[in-house]
Amino acid sequence: MISEKMNAAFNKQIKDEMYSSNLYLSMVAYFERIGLKGFANWMRIQVQEENAHAMGLFDYLISRDGCISIEAIDKPETNWASPLDCFEAVYKHEQLVTSLINGLIDVAEQEKDRAAISFLQWYLKEQVEEEANCSEICSRLRFVGEDKHALLLIDQELGARTYVAPTIA
């Protein structure tokens, strides 16, 4: 069993994770367009991670005998001025997601839903990692500036990222 308020908050977060997935898919297209395949690969993995985050919430809500409602997802941006501009948008978005997860935990606390509080700890820790990863890439992009050779080295490195399915518990 789950309270109506908690149920609604979970449904909203499922939608927000799916928005993240679509936003990053739009970024895959951007990086493919400008020929940075390694950056595109990094974003493709980000898409898979966001789908896993959405499904983690989806399956959790089912396990609590909740009621799933798939909400409409807003259209994401399609263009960015530069790889740095794009990664700054990722960083800003992940900060927003962190505040959404905190809000979800606030609801769980109001509802005295200790099981949900415990479940959401994984998402909280994941956000720390998400923010740290994109903050680091932003710093490196700022450091290389207009140096195209250095940009290609970063592209090569990001191209090596592989997907590891998260164990959400």
In the complex, the residues that contact ligand OFO under the rule CB under 6 A are 17, 20, 50, 53, 94, 97, 126, 130
- Comparing CB distances to ligand OFO, the nearer of 126 and 155 is 126
- Comparing CB distances to ligand OFO, the nearer of 56 and 151 is 56
Listed residue (115, 161, 136) closest to 1, CA to CA: 115
Q: How many whole angstroms separate alpha carbon 17 and alpha carbon 144? A: 31
- Comparing CB distances to ligand OFO, the nearer of 138 and 151 is 138
Q: How many whole angstroms separate alpha carbon 70 and alpha carbon 15? A: 7
- Comparing CB distances to ligand OFO, the nearer of 3 and 95 is 95
- Comparing CB distances to ligand OFO, the nearer of 36 and 97 is 97
Taking the complex as a whole, the smallest distance from the CB of residue 167 to ligand OFO amounts, in Å, to: 15
Listed residue (23, 60, 58) closest to 43, CA to CA: 23
Taking the complex as a whole, the smallest distance from the CB of residue 101 to ligand OFO amounts, in Å, to: 8
Q: How many whole angstroms separate alpha carbon 150 and alpha carbon 169? A: 39
Taking the complex as a whole, the smallest distance from the CB of residue 112 to ligand OFO amounts, in Å, to: 25
- In contact, 126 and 24? CB cutoff 8 Å: no
Taking the complex as a whole, the smallest distance from the CB of residue 108 to ligand OFO amounts, in Å, to: 17
Q: How many whole angstroms separate alpha carbon 120 and alpha carbon 101? A: 8
The residues near 65 (Cβ < 8 Å, ≥ 6 apart) are 1, 2
Strand locations in 17-59, DSSP E?
none
Taking the complex as a whole, the smallest distance from the CB of residue 126 to ligand OFO amounts, in Å, to: 6
